[in-house]
Structure 1
Amino acid sequence: MTRPIEHIATVVRAGDGVVEVELTAQSACASCHARMACGMGESTRKRIEIATPEASAFTAGERVTVSVERNMGMTAVLWAYVVPFVVLLGALVAASLAGWGDGAAALSAVGGIALYYGALYLLRERLEKKIHFKIHKQ
């Protein structure tokens, strides 16, 4: 079994079955081959909400470890970066092959991306059930 992807985080708030944490990219991220794909390479701080029945056991300011299984992390990368790229490229190529002008082809590609992210937004609850973050006290 592969090791999960882990980050040290600070609890921002906790309650109602949700713990909001702030992740800070560590120096280990600089050497990670997937740092740009996971999004930690482009920013030093990220905030995420983690649903857990033990939310009341955490307090603001507490340092915790947040983890996600590697296959779930790769699933998130797929939906957030790979599929939109394919949609963008597919719409652009299809519009160009249909004989549309450059401007119309570009607009169709942007429209395809907008539709994709709209669908992703509508299906967010379903996706949240597939990608599970775990939170542990240090």
Structure 2
Amino acid sequence: MNPDRFRTLQIRFSDLSNWLVTFAIVGILISIGLGWLVKGILILIGLIAITPVVVILGVQWWLKRNLIQDLCPVCSEEFPAFNNTQCQCPNCGEPIKVEQGHFSRLTPPGTIDVQVVDVSVQTLED
């Protein structure tokens, strides 16, 4: 008796058992029906394709509602900021409060904010 013959037979049976298990699983899936699997895969592919578009449109809509671009009340530098937040002017460093789409100075309580008016001096001659 050839000892290699037994190994060859053993290898063939292991390959055959792998194929039998594969065919059994495929047979069970065919008998159950694969429509649900195909539909599930198509729905998953559709969700993967649509999700980035919905996210991009949602972020753009949110930015249009919440990103404000206005002039600094101190140095008149134009810069963007989020609505209903506090920030600093990148040019002069003044603390800024963003309310209702416009910038205003963030001042401590009791501070009186005044507007400077330039008055030219005229001399009267006698």
The two structures have a TM-score, normalised by structure 2, of: 0.26
Larger CA Rg, structure 1 vs 2: 2
**Structure with higher RCO (Cα < 8 A, 6+ apart):** 1
